[in-house]
Amino acid sequence: MAKLVEQYRLVTVTGPGGAGKTSLAVELARRLAGGYPEGGWLVELAALGDPDLVGEVVAATLGLSEEGAGPGTRPLPPAERLAGFVADKGLLLVLDNCEHLVGACAGLVRGLLEAGPGLRVLATSREVLGVPGEAIWPIPPLAVPDDPGQAGPAPEVLAGYDAVRLFAERAAAADPGFVLDGASGPLVAELCRRLDGLPLAIELAAARVRALPLPELAARLEDRFRLLAGGGRTVDPRQQTLRATIDWSWALLAEPDRRLWRRLSVFSGGWTLAAAEVVCGGDGLGPGEVLEGMFRLVDRSLVVAAGGEPARFGLLESLRAYGAERLVEAGEAQAVAARHRAWCLRLAEEAATHRTARPWLRRVGADYDNLRAALDRAVAAPTRRRRCGWPPPSAGTGGPTAPSRAASC
C-alpha cells in the first residue's frame, strides 16, 4: 500500500465499518511522514456533521488562521487558504472517516491536489470519493483459518492467522488466564470465521471472555448484536458496538438501497445479479434499480463483489444478519423468502434436466447454500408446515418425503 501512495496522489482506503481503515491509514502515515518536508497530518472527520465546515476543520488542523488578503479585508475562505498553503509544500494529509461528507471531501481534495503538486492525500471512507486519479485500496477482512472439520490445526499454526492472533491478544488483555492452546484454538478459529475476520467484531467478542467461556460465547453468537456491545468508552460511539457501526452505514443510505440490502439478506452463500433481480425486485424495486443499487452497495463497501462468471456477490455475515433484522421490521420477510424459495425451486428443476452437464453441476454447487437455506426455512415455518401437510405421515404409510413436502411449500 505504501507503493500505492507513492504512485498516486490520492489513495482512498475503503471497507465496511469496523474493518480497521483508520488504524491502517494512521500506521501507514506514521511510517511515511518522514518522507515529506511538512510531515503527515491527521484530520478526524467522524464527529463533523456539517459538510460546509470540512475546509475549516482541515485548515484548523494545519494551524491556518483566518487571515485576509490584506489589512481590513475579509478572511479568505478556507479552501483558498489551504490552496495557498499547499502550493509550495510537500505533505501527507490523512482525511479520516469521509463517508458522511463524501461530496465536500471530494471537492476540497480535488482543489487542493490541483493547487499543490507536493501534496499527497490518504483518505478513509466506506465509500470512494470519486475524484479523478483516485486509487482505491479495499481493505480485506483479516485472514481466518478454513473450517478443518474434526481435527484443527495446532495452536502455533492458528496463531499465524491475523484474526486469531488479534482475538488471542485482546482476550489475554481482558482475561490474563486466557491461553491459545489445543482446547481454545478450535473455538477461537470458529468465532473468527463466523465474524468474517472483521477486526471490530473480533475485539468486541474477545472482550467477552472475561465473563463467558468460549463455548458459551460461540453459542450466543447467533444474537451477535446484543452480545458484541460495550466497547471502550474513549472510542467513537459508532465503534463501541457492532450494531452502532452498522447503523451508521444504514443511516447513510437512501431508502431504495436500504430496501435492497435487507432483501439481499435472504441469500446464503452469495448470489448472481440475475438472482437478485428475481428475488429482490418488485414491490418498489424495478430490475434497473436492483442493478444500480447493487453497484452503489458495492461502492459503499456493503456488498462484496466475489468475481466469477457469472459474477457473484455476497454479504459479510454481520451485514447479512443486520439486513435480516431490518427485513423483519419492514414486514417483508415472508414475501422475500417466498420469492427466494421459488427461485431455488426453479433452479433445482432446471438442474434436474441437465444432471450430467458440468456447467449445471457448477451452478448448483455455487448455490448449494441457497438451496439448503430455502429448504430449511420451508421446513421450519409453522404455517407452511400445516398448509403442506407437514409433518409427513408416519413410516410405512407411503407419504411424501420431507424434501418434496418442503419444496412444495
Report which listed range, 70-84, 197-211, 385-399, is most confident.
Answer: 197-211
Beta-carbon contacts of 300 under 8 Å, excluding residues fewer than 6 positions away, are: 99, 126, 127, 249, 252, 253, 257
- Grouping H, G, I as helix, E, B as strand and the rest as coil, residue 71 is coil
**DSSP secondary structure string, 257-300?**
HHHHHHHHTT-SS-EEHHHHHHHH-SSS--HHHHHHHHHHHHHT
The angle at the Cα of 394, spanning 393 to 398, to the nearest 5 degrees, equals: 65
| H-only helix segments in 18-73 | 21-32, 54-61
Contact 199, 166 (CB under 8 A): yes
pLDDT at 222 over 50: yes
pLDDT tens digits, one per residue of 281-290: 998 898 789 9
pLDDT at 331 over 80: yes
Beta-carbon contacts of 397 under 8 Å, excluding residues fewer than 6 positions away, are: none
pLDDT tens digits, one per residue of 231-258: 555 556 666 789 999 999 999 999 999 9
For cell 484530520, the residue is: 43
Whole-number mean pLDDT of the chain?
Answer: 87
pTM for the whole structure:
0.83
Residue at 67: amino acid letter: E
CA nearest neighbour of 333 among 342, 323, 343, 345? 323
- Grouping H, G, I as helix, E, B as strand and the rest as coil, residue 102 is helix
User: What number of other Cβ atoms are within 10 A of residue 303's Cβ?
Assistant: 25
Phi-psi map region of 130: left, alpha, beta (phi>0 left; psi -120 to 50 alpha): left
Output the pLDDT for position 383.
Answer: 52
